[in-house]
């Protein structure tokens, strides 16, 4: 095992955590202490590319600067408190933060890639009716360090498996939380994911998924060239109001207009992924599929159909296979790129909407402290 916990335990709350800084931030940090700004690229490389968290191993940095960094800063990660691999190869980690909150990250291997699903908040405030994360309330935003540490840890822990082909090639911010309600920390973390001195993921391999925070979609488009996924789930406002309450604030017409503006700002060949959870008898008719075709007209689109992952007390059930097939066909016949997401990691509760961590709910909705469901077989 890599020894991040020793480092973590000795961290002091008052010292800056270098994981909170992207390269721009580190440049400012070094400028402040009278150092050359190229130190930022060196340190980013040591930490994120080489996985080195011991300053004394950063050999292209002078001894004096190493000592200074060691004395005045930390490189501090959450602690891995649970690590399980599903029978289908999906791997899930439960990470404990300094304040005792717990978050989850999931690694999903496929033939041609390995996708890491990253959390952006402890819990979620949006309360989408079909999502078990949302049902458990909201506690706080994750720091940039807590977001990028998920990538740092997964990269190293997957590497340790020494299995050919298993590596993090894609990152999706589709874990716990609404990334666009934690805008600045998410943007800094995404910059690191895409930085050639850090993880060097291309703009097609980093995806932010949002329930539709319209002003933040605009700001994101201004700042970054990257993938956007929008959790649509309904094609009219009345239904979407009930599934995704955020729709009352930013209704479909505004959301789709924001998607168009986002695409216009991106480099060529960009497209938006629309996620659509199929709920039996709620949003899964042929008529709904046809409306989806109309709604996405003129937007380069990939539709991601997600079979609902049921959980106790949700009040919804999964659409029958035949209806999923019909929904898919309507979209495909209209020339829309469509994929049906396979449910992965079911046996370790790693599937969509099942990332519940352990949340001390700060919203008024629920006041309770939940144990994670970690019963599993590997
Ligand atoms: N808040 C962001 C990202 C987190 S949710 C967003 O809404 O996009 C990641 C995806 O999982 C979303 O599309 C969400 O709607 C979906 N999801 C949530 N609960 C689900 C469930 N029970 N079954 C299937 N998908 C679910």
Q: What is the DSSP string of 106-160?
A: EEEE-SS-EEEE---EEE-SS--TT-HHHHT-EEEEPPHHHHHHHHHHHHHHHHH
DSSP structure class, residue 177: S
Assess whether pLDDT exceeds 80 at residue 145: yes
List, in sequence order, every beta strand (DSSP E) within 154-246.
Answer: 170-173, 206-210, 227-231
Best mutation site among 123, 131, 214 for ligand 1, i.e. most ligand atoms within 8 A of its Cβ? 131
Binned at pLDDT 50, 70 and 90, residue 167 comes out as very high
Largest CA distance in the chain: 68
Assess whether pLDDT exceeds 70 at residue 324: yes
Q: Give mean pLDDT, residues 49-75.
A: 98
Residue nearest to atom 13 of ligand 1 (CA): 231
Sign of the alpha-carbon dihedral angle for 266, 331, 207, 179: positive
Q: If you search the block for the tokens 């029958």, which residue do you land on?
A: 320
The reply to whether 124 belongs to the active site is no
Q: If you search the block for the tokens 């402040």, which residue do you land on?
A: 32
- Per DSSP bridges, beta strands 114-117 and 121-123 are unpaired
pLDDT at 373: 30
Residue nearest to atom 3 of ligand 1 (CA): 174
Residue 91 contacts residue 114 (beta carbons within 8 Å): no
Binned at pLDDT 50, 70 and 90, residue 368 comes out as very low
Binned at pLDDT 50, 70 and 90, residue 378 comes out as very low
Q: pLDDT tens digits for 190-231?
A: 999 999 999 999 999 999 999 999 999 999 999 999 999 999
pLDDT at 364: 46
Assess whether pLDDT exceeds 80 at residue 363: no
User: What is the distance between the alpha carbons of residues 329 and 322, in angstroms, rounded to a whole number?
Assistant: 11
Binned at pLDDT 50, 70 and 90, residue 268 comes out as confident
Assess whether pLDDT exceeds 60 at residue 343: yes
List, in sequence order, every beta strand (DSSP E) within 28-97.
Answer: 79-85, 91-96
Binned at pLDDT 50, 70 and 90, residue 135 comes out as confident
Assess whether pLDDT exceeds 50 at residue 8: no
Which of 98-107, 173-182, 332-341, 343-352 has the lowest average pLDDT?
343-352
Binned at pLDDT 50, 70 and 90, residue 168 comes out as very high
User: What is the distance between the alpha carbons of residues 174 and 284, in angstroms, rounded to a whole number?
Assistant: 22
83 contact partners, CB below 8 Å, separation of at least 6: 91, 92, 93, 94, 157
Q: Give mean pLDDT, residues 2-23.
A: 68
Q: How far is the CA of 106 from the centre of ligand 1 (A)?
A: 14
Residue 209 contacts residue 179 (beta carbons within 8 Å): yes
Helix (H) or strand (E) holding 105: strand 102-109
- Per DSSP bridges, beta strands 227-231 and 272-278 are parallel
pLDDT at 375: 25
User: What is the distance between the alpha carbons of residues 6 and 149, in angstroms, rounded to a whole number?
Assistant: 15
Q: How far is the CA of 317 from the centre of ligand 1 (A)?
A: 15
Question: How many angstroms separate the Cα of 63 from the Cα of each of 7, 66, 97?
Answer: 20, 5, 31
Residue 325 contacts residue 286 (beta carbons within 8 Å): no
Strand partners, 302: 273, 337
Q: Give mean pLDDT, residues 131-139.
A: 89
Q: How far is the CA of 210 from the centre of ligand 1 (A)?
A: 9
Q: pLDDT tens digits for 100-128?
A: 999 999 999 999 999 999 999 999 999 99
Question: What is the Cβ-side half-sphere exposure of residue 68, based on CA atoms within 13 angstroms?
Answer: 10
pLDDT at 301: 97
Assess whether pLDDT exceeds 70 at residue 51: yes
Percentage above 90 pLDDT, the chain: 83
Kindly name the residue from 27, 104, 146, 360 that is annotated as catalytic. Answer: 104
The reply to whether 131 belongs to the active site is no
């Amino acid at each position: 095992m890599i020894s991040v916990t020793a480092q973590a335990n000795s961290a002091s709350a008052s010292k800056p955590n270098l994981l909170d800084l992207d390269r721009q931030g580190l440049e400012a940090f070094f400028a402040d202490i009278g150092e050359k700004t190229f130190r930022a690229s060196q340190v980013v490389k040591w930490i994120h590319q080489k996985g080195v968290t011991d300053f004394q191993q950063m050999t292209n940095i002078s001894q004096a600067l190493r000592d200074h960094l060691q004395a005045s800063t930390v490189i501090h990660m959450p602690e891995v408190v649970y690590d399980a691999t599903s029978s289908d190869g999906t791997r899930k980690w439960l990470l404990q933060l300094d304040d005792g909150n717990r978050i989850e990250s999931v690694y999903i291997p496929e033939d041609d890639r390995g996708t890491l699903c990253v959390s952006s908040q402890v819990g979620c405030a949006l309360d989408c009716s079909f999502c078990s994360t949302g049902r458990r309330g909201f506690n706080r935003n994750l720091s940039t360090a807590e977001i990028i540490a998920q990538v740092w840890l997964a990269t190293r822990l997957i590497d340790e498996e020494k299995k050919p082909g298993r590596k993090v090639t894609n990152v999706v911010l589709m874990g716990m939380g609404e990334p666009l309600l934690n805008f600045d920390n998410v943007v800094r973390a995404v910059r690191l994911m895409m930085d050639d001195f850090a993880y060097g993921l291309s703009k097609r391999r980093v995806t932010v998924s949002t329930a539709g925070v319209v002003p933040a979609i605009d700001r994101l488009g201004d700042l970054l060239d990257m993938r956007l996924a929008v959790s649509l789930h309904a094609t009219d406002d009345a239904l979407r109001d009930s599934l995704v309450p955020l729709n009352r604030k930013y209704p479909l017409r505004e959301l789709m207009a924001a998607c168009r503006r986002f695409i216009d700002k991106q480099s060529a060949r960009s497209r938006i992924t629309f996620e659509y959870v199929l709920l039996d008898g709620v949003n899964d008719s042929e008529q709904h599929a046809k409306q989806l075709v109309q709604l996405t007209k003129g937007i380069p689109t990939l539709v991601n159909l997600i079979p609902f992952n049921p959980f106790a007390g949700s009040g919804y059930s999964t659409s029958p296979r035949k209806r999923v097939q019909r929904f898919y066909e309507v979209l495909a016949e209209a020339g829309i790129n469509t994929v049906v997401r396979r449910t992965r990691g079911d046996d370790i509760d790693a599937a969509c909407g099942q990332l519940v961590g352990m949340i001390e709910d700060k919203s008024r909705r629920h006041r309770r402290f939940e144990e994670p469901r970690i019963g599993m077989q590997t």
